[in-house]
Amino acid sequence: MVVSGVNDTQICTCKSFEDAAWIAERLNLAALQNQAEFTTALIDCPALHEKGEGYPFGDKVPKKVRLLRRVTTDPNFLGVAEIEPPESSDVIYKTAEFDQVLPCWTNKFGAVAVVFEDGQKLWAKPHEFEVVEWYNK
């Protein structure tokens, strides 16, 4: 078996099916472990510490949501929170798919954003998701 690196990617040439199966199993286990760590990690959101007037979830704070439709970045809101809109090359467009379950971040007023593995957030409107898991107190 020969392993070499090209642009931060490892390329493996296997001499047997057993070598290839062993490597695939190890890579799959690592990916599953990373996914499990990501989906069980605590995302520290403002709603865990303080709830503002009109907070819609009572004493609960959403931990994971299931998307009820495909949700994409709304270009009308890019740069709203910044002084200057981002350069077009800096814009990150994200998409979350229908029925996908993702961890979420909630502000103190109850606005929910799904959180991707890379830490990027995508705001979801109330009719675009349902809460499937809550944080325990």
26 and 62 both lie in a single domain: no
**Residues 30, 89: one domain?**
no
Shared domain check, 107 and 65: yes
Structural domain harbouring 76: 46-134
**Do 34 and 67 share a domain, yes or no?**
no
Tell me, letter by letter, the H, E, C secondary structure of the chain.
Answer: CEEEEECCEEEEECCCHHHHHHHHHHHHHHHHHHHHHHHHCCCCCHHHCCCCCCCCCCCCCEEEEEECCCEECCHHHCCCCCCCCCCHHHCCCCEECCCCEEEEEECCCCCEEEECCCCCEEEECHHHEEEEEECCC
Q: 120 and 98 in one domain? A: yes
pLDDT of res. 77: 59
pLDDT tens digit at each of 137 positions of the chain: 444 444 444 454 555 555 555 555 555 545 545 555 555 566 889 999 999 999 999 999 999 999 999 998 876 655 544 434 445 555 567 899 999 999 999 999 999 999 998 888 898 999 999 999 999 86
| CATH, residue 50 | 2.30.30
> How many separate domains does the chain show?
2
User: Do residues 32 and 90 share a domain?
Assistant: no
Q: Please state the pTM of the whole predicted model.
A: 0.62
Residues 59 and 86 in one domain: yes
Same domain, yes or no, for 97 and 70? yes
Domain shared by 51 and 99, yes or no: yes
User: Based on the domain organization, do 86 and 117 belong to the same domain?
Assistant: yes
113 and 71 in one domain?
A: yes
Query: What's the pLDDT score for residue 43?
Result: 83
- Please check whether residues 25 and 61 belong to one and the same domain: no
